[in-house]
Amino acid sequence: MHLPKNLPNSSDSDSSTPPQRTRHRLYGRRLGHALRAGQQELVDIRLPRLMASDNGPVTFSSTVDQWWMEIGFGGGEHLAGQIHNNPDVGFIGAEPFLNGMASLLAKVPDQDDQRLILWDRDARNLLPRIEAGALSRLFLLFPDPWPKKRHHKRRFVSPETLDAIHRVLKPNGEFRVATDIADYADWTMIEIARHGGFTWPVESADDWRVQPADHVQTRYETKAMNAGRKPVYLRFFRK
C-alpha cells in the first residue's frame, strides 16, 4: 500500500477554546461571531424541523434512492453542492459549529428539506443510531488536524469511528476522506489498514491527488490550497 507522502504539514494551531462535554468529549467551537438575525432565525426555526431526534433510531422519512452523510461540513459548501447536484439522494449533515449550520441552511432551498436530516452536535453520538447499512456514502472532508502528538487522540479518524462508519455503510459504500495535512493522510491510511474493513482501490497517484469528479470545493480547502498545501482525496469502500 502506498501512503501519500511529502504533503506539507499543518500550520494550523489547536483551538484555544475549551472543549465541551457531550456523551463523548467534543472539541472545537460551537459559536464564532454572533449570528445575524436571519441566521438566528434559520437556527431557531428551520433547524429544529430538520434535526434528528435526541434518542432512538434515526428516521428516514423521505423516499429517496439513497442516503449520504457528511461529518463536520463546516460552512456547508460541499454538502449544499451535493444536495443541489443529487436531487434523488437524501443527506444527513452533522456540524456542531452553529455558524456553519446557519451557513448551510442559507445555501439549501426549503424545497430540499424533506431529504435533509441535520445534527448540530458530535457526529459520534449520531452514528450508532443510524441503521446498519443505511448509507451509500460518507464524507469526512478536512477534519480538524490536531497536529500536536498529544492531541492525536482527538482526531476524528479512530478505530471506534471507523467501526461506526463501517457499520452504517452499505457493502461497497464509499467513505471519502480529504485532508491537506500529510500526517493526517498517513494516520488515516494506517487506521484504515489496521481496521481491515475497507478497500482503497487506486491505480495511480492521480487517484488520490486529483479532486474526484463530483467533488465540491470547500472554503477551508481553497484557503489550504492558496497557502500552498495540496489536499489528498482518499476514497475507501466498505468490504
Minimal distance, residue 186 CB to ligand SAM, in Å: 18
Active site residues: 144
First-to-last alpha carbon distance for the chain, in angstroms, is 17
Piece in contact with ligand SAM (CB under 6 A), picked from 102-110, 130-138, 190-198, 212-220: 212-220
Q: Which of 4, 90, 93, 100 binds ligand SAM (CB under 6 A)?
A: 100
Rg (CA), the chain: 17
**What distance in Å separates the CA atoms of residue 214 and residue 200, rounded to the nearest whole number?**
18
Bridge partner residues of 79 (DSSP): none
Q: Is 26 in the site for ligand SAM (CB under 6 A)?
A: yes
What are the distances in angstroms from CA 92 to CA 10, 63, 235? 29, 14, 19
Q: Is 218 in the site for ligand SAM (CB under 6 A)?
A: yes
Minimal distance, residue 217 CB to ligand SAM, in Å: 9
Q: Is 224 in the site for ligand SAM (CB under 6 A)?
A: no
* Cβ distance to ligand SAM smaller for residue 16 or 63: 16
Q: Is 120 in the site for ligand SAM (CB under 6 A)?
A: no
Stretch 33-62 residues interacting with ligand SAM (CB under 6 A): none
Nearest in space to 95 (alpha carbons), one of 142, 153, 162, 159: 142
Which residues are near ligand SAM by CB under 6 A? 26, 28, 71-75, 94-97, 100, 122-124, 141-144, 156, 218-221
